[in-house]
Amino acid sequence: MTTPAVLTTSTLDAYAGRLTDPSVKPTDVDFGGYLNPQTGPFLVNGARPGDTLAVHFRSITPHFDYGISAVLPFFGALSSTPQTPTLQAALDDRAWHYAIDTASGSVRMDALDSDHSFDLDPMHGTVGVAPAGGEVHSSLTPGAWGGNMDTPEMRAGATCYLGVNVPGAMFSFGDGHARQGEGESCGTAVETAMDSTVVLDVVHDYVTPWPRIETDAFIMTTGSARPMEDAFRIAHTEMVHWIAELTGMSTSDSYQFVSQASLTPVANAVDTNYTVVCKIAKCHLKGASVYGGMHDRLKAL
């Protein structure tokens, strides 16, 4: 595609549409190696290493009227796992059905012994470009290229900035969630297929080392790593440098600024790398130009 471009497409859920019946144990489903399938990659004409791809999410709408979440044996932030073994027995292997009502904006959980409704809050868990250096990573892994960050901030109205590593960027996205709590503690959100419209453009000759997000109210940096404190360090170091660039502050002053002004949600505490987000309210930036006003331009297209 040639930018600026408006792209409307669909994405499968993280189960590749193969887990639809909550009475079936997830471990009994043959996913055929297709966990977390992505739509793409899309080649962006003119994007080259050293540029930044800007991706604005205009709309994210559930394709079906249901979503599925699950608890899997030895997976999740509160379970014994192969990397962090304990004497804890495996949790029950089961799925939960959620009824999605786009008209009322609700997501209703059909629970074991009660029902509960949440606000519908669609997002994409996986957004990224091709990694640098010819590396190949599972779509389950987040990193400097984006990937499976699982941040609820990736909702309609947000603009994601991704550093371009290969000619054409090779953009892809998927892993739609009807909603997800910060941290995604059980390891799955309300997974569902999505119909989405994104607007893309390229910021030439500007390097974005780690994914960034901009909304009307906040700028955000991300870091993905294990242990979690390294993800925290990446996100906060990136924000310190960005604030210094935007405001003209020294690194020391920016460090102090971020220490007092930041919010730090944990996007995921379950994936192969953990993801931490650092947020700064734009009201603190005193009108500083973020990517030359790209967020507002993409909103207007």
Two structure tokens written together for 9: 């497409």
Percent of the chain residues topping a pLDDT of 70: 100
* Average pLDDT rounded to a whole number, residues 247-258: 98
Q: Does residue 24 sit in helix, strand or coil?
A: coil
More confident residue, 83 or 184: 184
- The domain segmentation of the chain, as residue ranges, is 5-300
List CB contacts of 4: < 8 A, sequence separation 6 or more. Answer: 199, 200, 201, 297, 298, 301
Q: Please, which pLDDT band fits residue 258 given cuts at 50, 70 and 90?
A: very high
Whether pTM exceeds 0.85? yes
Residue 98 has phi, psi (to 5 degrees) of -120, 130
Torsion of CA 196, 199, 160, 295, to 10 degrees: -130
Give tens-digit pLDDT for 113-153.
778 899 999 999 999 999 999 999 999 999 999 999 999 99
The architecture that CATH gives domain 5-300 is: Sandwich (2.60)
Residue type, 293: G
